[in-house]
Amino acid sequence: MNFVIDLSSVGSSSGIVNPLSAMWFIISHGGWLIIIPISIWAAWELWINYIREKFSNAQKYVLLAIDVPKENEQSPKAVEQVFAHISGIQKRGNLKERYLHGYTQLDISLELVSIEGYVQFLIRTPDKFRDLVEAAFYAQYPNAEITEVEDYAQHFKPQFPNEEYDLWGSELKLTNKECYPIKTYPLFEHTLSQVFFDPMANILESFSRLGRGEQVWLQMVIEPAPDDEWRQSGIRTIKKLIGAKVKSKGGMGDLLWLPLNVAHGLYESAIASIVTPTGFGESGSTADNGPASQMMHLPPNERTVVEQVGMKISKIGYVSKIRLIYIGKHDVFNKDRVSAFMGSLKQYNTLDM
């Protein structure tokens, strides 16, 4: 038995005979309550994207080459001071600047480039921040030479496959939460001899081995973190690791809680094997006031993680993107070089962080 459904009568009885009529039917029966807010939201997003793109395109950037004489020796702490100084570029902008002129936080790109084996440290910065960047470096390296140079990337057409060049590129990201640190300069210093093993030496060595027709670019685009959420994430992580049951107070309460409790835990660990624990009552039982911290009960590797997370969130934070690009002419392009580049960067890895 075959059934045939005639829909012509449905359209005529309801008055919906075409898409425009259907749309009008929906709007006239309350659909405008959904359509109008969605339309306003879409128009607002289009406006924000338009003014932000216009603002970004209007910015003028300069590329500065940084040359520091070998005899101008400074500890890695000096570079940390440079980063603290550069954070002065942070600006939130008022309502008029953000929603009328499209202001967004400007960034700076720290670049290490090898062109046929010649290695150069570069900084790409908005022209308005040039004085700030130069002052940050001259304050720590008075004998440094800072000069404006031509953009090395403008000689390459962005279309690939390319008639002359091959390209390999990648972005690098953290494998764990952003509150966990990579290996930083204090961990490259021998605890007994106090000899500092410069991790940059491996990177510079692999970059300097390029030959004619080869280039490698390491670009770190940074901007100051817009808020303290990444720090709060670190505080929550530490509390979870040490088993603390402290309610979050928010703001400065959490920032003060962290160093005090970590220090207290370290102090307990240090004296645990020397001083007999106090707090015994007359019955010989310990007073149960609830431990403020479980730091002393952590194994050494977990205790180190807690200390390093606490150290990281005490620093000025940057939102960052790291790019690595290797370019070579067809006849000399050797993708095996990527292994050397990645190996020199993996020295900053820690498997537990």
35-50 pLDDT tens trace: 788 888 999 999 999 9
Q: Are 201 and 70 in contact (CB under 8 A)?
A: no
Q: Are 261 and 295 in contact (CB under 8 A)?
A: yes
Query: How far is Cα of residue 261 from the mean position of the Cα atoms in its chain?
Result: 27
- The pLDDT, as a whole number, for residue 284 is 45
Q: Which whole-number Å values give the CA distances from 46 to 101, 284, 351, in the listed order?
A: 14, 72, 43
Report the candidate in 218, 167, 118 with the shortest Cα–Cα distance to residue 328: 167
Q: How far apart are CA 256 and CA 250, in angstroms?
A: 10
Bridge-based pairing state of the strands 165-172 and 61-67: unpaired
SS3 333: coil
Q: Would you state the structure tokens that stand for residue 177, as one six-digit string?
A: 């939460």
**Radius of gyration for the chain, computed over Cα atoms and rounded to the nearest angstrom:** 29
Instruction: Assign residue 102 a region (left: φ > 0; alpha: ψ between -120 and 50; beta: otherwise).
Output: left
Q: Would you state the structure tokens that stand for residue 138, as one six-digit string?
A: 């001259």
- The pLDDT, as a whole number, for residue 107 is 93
Angle at CA of residue 345, ends 178 and 311, nearest 5° = 40
Report the candidate in 223, 250, 224, 225 with the shortest Cα–Cα distance to residue 236: 250
- The pLDDT, as a whole number, for residue 162 is 83
Look up tokens 């509390």; give the residue.
239
- The pLDDT, as a whole number, for residue 286 is 44
Look up tokens 């080869």; give the residue.
214
Distinct helix (H) and strand (E) counts, the chain: 11, 7
List the chain residues with pLDDT less than 70.
1-17, 32, 245-293, 295
Buried b (16+ CB within 10 A) or exposed e, 150-178: eeebeeeeeeeeeeebbeeeeeeeeeeeb
C-beta contacts of 254-257 below 8 A and 24+ residues apart: 255/231
Q: What predicted TM-score, i.e. pTM, was given to this entire model?
A: 0.72
SS3 250: coil
